[in-house]
Chains A and B, each alone.
Chain A
Amino acid sequence: QKEVEQNSGPLSVPEGAIASLNCTYSDRGSQSFFWYRQYSGKSPELIMFIYSNGDKEDGRFTAQLNKASQYVSLLIRDSQPSDSATYLCAVGPAAGNKLTFGGGTRVLVKP
């Protein structure tokens, strides 16, 4: 079993719709959770982080964390073609050490 699992996609979303991405993790001691966006050929770009159970909103992005169920999700509202990318879920311990990444979910937003 992988430590951080994501559906590889592609997740096809019409422009203006909500894209919903999920991530599950195996280490119950994990305390920090991140979403990165990665365009083809580029490096990962941090778009959201969440440390406490519940929802965290930043612009069109909402991260949701449920530690009891060991999942974290990302919602992208009003999806735009520029949101087409691979979204990486990353999980880390409280001490800010190494991150463990999932394989990423490819999102395609169609005009």
Chain B
Amino acid sequence: DTGVSQNPRHKITKRGQNVTFRCDPISEHNRLYWYRQTLGQGPEFLTYFQNEAQLEKSRLLSDRFSAERPKGSFSTLEIQRTEQGDSAMYLCASSLGGISYEQYFGPGTRLTVT
């Protein structure tokens, strides 16, 4: 198994710009999760998909954030009109689903908004 991959690994953007991140889960994993982590904190849930269906979205996720998983494989997370408070590590995880709950994380995308 190749692990979860994320691109880009680092992104520096200016406030007000839009950014898009990509996540490729472990093959055959039908659940895909997005989390955000700031320094000194544990990861915070953003949203998750089972196949192409987005099943839950955090109330903390503003309408500037949108995520898709169009064919049930890779996923994208877009942030529109970025703000300095969006600076964080964006983590993607996947799990097999069914009775297998273990989530495996990718390397993350570190976003810096200047």
Contacts and interface: CB of A to CB of B under 8 A. Distances in A.
Interface of A: 4, 32, 34, 36, 42-46, 49, 51, 88, 90, 92, 96-104
B48 interface: yes
Contacts of B41: 103-104
A43 B92 CA distance: 10
A61 to B, nearest CB: 15
Given A42-B107, A43-B107, A101 B42 contact: yes
B91 A44 contact: yes
Contacts of B31: 96
Contact of A49 (B44, B55, B91, B102): B102
B42 A102 contact: yes
Contacts of B107: 42-43
A45 B103 contact: no
Interface size class of B (residues with CB under 8 A): 20 to 34
Contact of B103 (A4, A46, A51, A100): A46
A90 B41 CA distance: 12
A97 B55 contact: yes
Given A97-B55, A98-B48, A101-B44, A32 B104 contact: no
Interface of B: 31, 33, 35, 40-45, 48, 55-56, 58, 89, 91, 95, 97-108
Given A97-B48, A98-B45, A103 B40 contact: yes
A45 B103 CA distance: 9
Contacts of A44: 43, 91, 105
B43 A96 contact: no
Contacts of A104: 41-42
Contacts of B45: 98-100
B33 A98 contact: yes
